[in-house]
Amino acid sequence: MKHPGILPRVLRGITTLLLVALVLLCAAPAMAAPTPGTGGWYWPTATEDFHGWSGWWDFRGYCWHLAQDMHSPAGKPVYAVGDGTVLESKYVRGYGPGGGLGGAVVILHKTYDGVEFKALYGHLANLKYGRGDTVKAGAVIGTINNSSPNHLHFGIHPGKKYPSDNNPYRGHTYTKSNTYGFVDPVAYLRSHYRIDPYKAPTVATVASVHTTSTALWARACSGRLFWAEAAESGPQTWTCSLPNGTAACVEPSQTVPVHDSTRYFLTVVKTEPAIVVKDKMPRLSLRASDRTPARGKAVTLSGSVKNSAAKPFVHARVRIERWDGSKWTYVTSSYTSTTGTWSLKYTPPGRAILRARFIPPNTYSTGVSASLRLAVSTRSSLPW
């Protein structure tokens, strides 16, 4: 029997899911090893915060910079962005103190889909690898040397071959029209991934769902329709393939009942869709291990970024922001794992309103966010 109320219910359910974002207080935990960042790359100075030094194509009065400089103190490790083979590793004039000899390494890396590029790591000391060595992603290849100011010179040259002038260590150009094949390294890594990123599935257009009871919500993904309804034991998820047959397509941890094809039937109308489920929309969740922590006590903030079919957004950056009374300010960030989950520890300085935000890559249309309040136990009231 048909339930006229199901379409608004479905729409409400979808809207609710999209709006459910959790906000929590967080701070990045101390990490001994680097964590992959955008694109799954191990960023060479273990951060993507590069401000303070020369960026790509900065003009220096007489030349243009062919790399991204990354501020880092002398002695700090430099990491290989991915697996690779060392093409060059030696001490080169210009990469040391006062423009003298300093370590420079060129490694041939690959993106997840096999695109080769060379990365130049300059201003190094303590070179760990020699020409021909293989390097693992995230391995320490050297340390920042004593150039002033202390920084890593990081360049990228796509392809396997050396620059046309056969100088793999080139760091700048005097000719504005000639980059010698170098490209903006940060933009390159952010658009060429080390790990296959999540791709949203195709989405079915569902006109209506007919059941003998009232569905709590319904969604579609990859040609399958699934919905939940209140049963004696609580909400249950039911699945069915479109246009025919049954299939498993359920939320994690939910029990799938035996599908009863006589109880349900589906109507798919592709020409006049009543519901369009935008399955590319991410769902962001956030939990706090303790909503009222004692002063000085850390809480664990965790959650996930997944789509409505529970497919994870891998290596997605989740920003944690705090409301300062007039605007949201950045606190810290985390990246989702291959299962779409993220977690970090945060010690709130006082009561706080926190927000987690996911700003999707270009291939996804809409970001999501949500906020939450943490109250630190204390006898005196604290400002927000």
Residues that bind Zn ion (CB under 5 A): 67, 69, 153
Closest of 277, 250, 286 to residue 358, by C-alpha: 286
Give the max Cα distance, the chain.
Answer: 82
3-state helix, strand, coil in the chain (%, to 5): 5, 35, 55
Compute the least distance from the CB of residue 65 to Zn ion, in Å: 6
Q: Which residue is nearest to Zn ion (CB)?
A: 153
Residue whose CB is less far from Zn ion, 29 or 55: 55
- Peptide bond between residue 243 and the one before it cis (omega within 30 degrees of 0): yes
CB closer to Zn ion out of 117 and 154: 154
Report in angstroms how near the CB of residue 80 gets to Zn ion at its nearest.
18
Nearer to Zn ion among residue 69 and residue 229 (C-beta)? 69
Shortest distance, position 207 Cβ to Zn ion, whole Å: 58
Q: How far apart (Å, rounded) are the C-alpha atoms in residues 331 and 146? A: 31
CA 326, CA 242: separation in Å to the nearest integer?
A: 48
301: which residues sit within 8 A by CB, 6+ positions away?
24, 25, 26, 286, 287, 288, 289, 320, 343, 344, 345, 346, 354, 356
- Nearest approach in angstroms of CB 321 to Zn ion is 32
Q: Which is nearer to Zn ion, 153 or 192 (CB)?
A: 153
Nearer Cβ to Zn ion (121/198): 121
Residue 173 CB, nearest distance to Zn ion (Å)?
12
Quote the least distance from Cβ 193 to Zn ion, whole Å: 25
Q: Residue 311: is it exposed, middle or buried by C-beta count within 10 angstroms (0-12/13-18/19+)? A: middle
User: Of the two residues 182 and 193, which places its CB atom closer to Zn ion in the complex?
Assistant: 182
CB of 57 to Zn ion, least distance (A): 11
Residue in 209, 211, 218 with CA at minimum distance from that of residue 267: 209
Q: Nearest distance from residue 137's CB to Zn ion, in Å?
A: 23
CB closer to Zn ion out of 120 and 356: 120
Specify the DSSP class assigned to residue 293. P
DSSP-H helix ranges across 98-194: 185-191
Name the residue among 194, 188, 192, 112 with its Cα closest to residue 157: 188
How far is CA 191 from its chain centroid? 12
293/103 Cα distance (integer angstroms): 48
| Least distance between Zn ion and beta carbon 68 (Å) | 8
Nearest to 227 by CA among 250, 193, 201, 258: 250
- 3-state SS class at 9: helix
Distance separating alpha carbons of residues 54 and 76, to the nearest angstrom: 19
The DSSP 8-state label assigned to residue 288 in this structure reads: E
d(CA 295, CA 348): 8
Residue 53 or residue 112: which is nearer to Zn ion going by CB? 53
| Closer Cβ to Zn ion, 70 or 137, answer by number | 70
